[in-house]
Amino acid sequence: MKRKILVVGETREGKIRSVSFEAISAGKTIAQGGEVIGVLAGSSISPLAVELIHFGADRVIIIEDKKLEQYTSDGYAQALTAVMEQEQPDGIVLGHTALGKDLSPRMAVKWDAGLVSDAISVKEENGEIVFTRPIYSGKAFEKVIVESKVILATIRPNNITPLEKNEQRSGAVTSIVVPIADLRTVIQEVVRKAAGGVDLAEAKVVVAGGRGVKSKEGFEPLQKLANILGGAVGASRGACDADYCDYSLQIGQTGKVITPDLYIACGISGAIQHLAGMSNSKVIVAINKDPEADIFKIADYGIVGDLFEVVPLLTEEFKKIKEKSV
């Protein structure tokens, strides 16, 4: 069955987030040869529209409005509803990001639809669109189908392969004007805390610290290693509870569940609740003084040693390689 699918594009610091390209790829699978329409809302976003097309969107609809410059639940709900009413799509795909998590359930109620949150794969099986998603923070998985007329899904960053970028692809970019009514929630201020500008959920490399990091300052060598790898820093519950770092960095069943290409666990023992948050990472490296630590049971590579010795050594090694390749 051919379907018409909307994909909500997201921007961060003037660029389209990679999860949006992954969402186009998921949208293609759901569309089954139908149409994938990118939707971009914001202010001065039209130059970005063509990127969605290069990554596979058939066309793009943009909604330019000063009131949409920052994401608000109400503003985006109004904008997306207007697009929905115009296009009458068979589905919507969003990233499972702060925006997607906030907006998708509201759209599901508006369109009386089933919503699959946090999908890590989308496949067509015997005519059905089958989503796979983690439950119990990745301790198990479920396959889900949507039985409502409209299919809604959010996809987890880093799991679905985007289409190859192709600048030869072309498609129409149209804009619609949506009168954005008064917003019931108003953003007064945004405080940027995310270290190094790399989002933990989307980072390809995560360097995480546990109780073994011992202090706030103890995270500095980890941050240096993350910086050289273009990655983000995370933490275990132990480190957050001990106030070594902000709760927004916590990885685990309470906290963020992430699947980077490379996870480097430093001074983390590997409690079940932490493993739930990271054990589906592609490659896991464990650095711990205790050779009996549970983290070694799931690590692809382990170094038994003091993280304060090992982490700077790794940073130096990666630095050398970087310098060579320049």
What part of residues 289-308 is at the interface with another protein (CB under 8 A)? 291, 296-305
What part of residues 306-325 is at the interface with another protein (CB under 8 A)? 309-310, 313-314, 316-318, 321
For residues 264 and 286, give the distance between their C-alpha atoms in angstroms, rounded to a whole number: 6
Assign 32 to helix, strand or coil.
Answer: coil
Among 88, 185, 323, 326, binds another protein (CB under 8 A): 185
Among 1, 145, 172, 181, binds another protein (CB under 8 A): 145
The least distance separating another protein from the CB of residue 169, rounded to whole angstroms, comes to 29
What part of residues 239-258 is at the interface with another protein (CB under 8 A)? 240, 246-250, 252-255, 257
DSSP designation for 250: B
The least distance separating another protein from the CB of residue 262, rounded to whole angstroms, comes to 5
For residues 35 and 60, give the distance between their C-alpha atoms in angstroms, rounded to a whole number: 11
Tokens of 109: 């109620």
- Cβ–Cβ < 8 Å for 131, 190: no
Tokens of 263: 């996870």
The least distance separating another protein from the CB of residue 39, rounded to whole angstroms, comes to 19
Among 46, 50, 59, 130, binds another protein (CB under 8 A): 130
Contact call for residue 13 and another protein (CB under 8 A): no
The least distance separating another protein from the CB of residue 202, rounded to whole angstroms, comes to 9
For residues 258 and 159, give the distance between their C-alpha atoms in angstroms, rounded to a whole number: 10
- Cβ–Cβ < 8 Å for 99, 71: yes
What part of residues 273-292 is at the interface with another protein (CB under 8 A)? 273, 276, 279-280, 282-285, 291
User: In degrees to the nearest 10, what's the CA dihedral of 322, 259, 104, 196?
Assistant: -30
Nearest to 141 by CA among 114, 159, 120: 120
- Cβ proximity to another protein: between 25 and 279 the closer is 279
- Cβ proximity to another protein: between 46 and 248 the closer is 248
For residues 322 and 31, give the distance between their C-alpha atoms in angstroms, rounded to a whole number: 41
- Cβ proximity to another protein: between 242 and 318 the closer is 318
Beta bridge pairs of residue 39: 8, 61
For residues 244 and 215, give the distance between their C-alpha atoms in angstroms, rounded to a whole number: 5
What part of residues 188-217 is at the interface with another protein (CB under 8 A)? 188-195, 199-201, 205
Among 20, 29, 78, 104, binds another protein (CB under 8 A): 104
- Cβ proximity to another protein: between 216 and 282 the closer is 282
Contact call for residue 144 and another protein (CB under 8 A): yes
Contact call for residue 227 and another protein (CB under 8 A): no
> Look-up: residue for tokens 């018409």?
4
Exposed / middle / buried, residue 24 (Cβ in 10 Å: 0-12, 13-18, 19+): buried
- Cβ proximity to another protein: between 53 and 68 the closer is 68
The least distance separating another protein from the CB of residue 165, rounded to whole angstroms, comes to 21
For residues 285 and 264, give the distance between their C-alpha atoms in angstroms, rounded to a whole number: 5
What part of residues 63-82 is at the interface with another protein (CB under 8 A)? 73-74
Contact call for residue 26 and another protein (CB under 8 A): no
Among 59, 101, 211, 214, binds another protein (CB under 8 A): 101
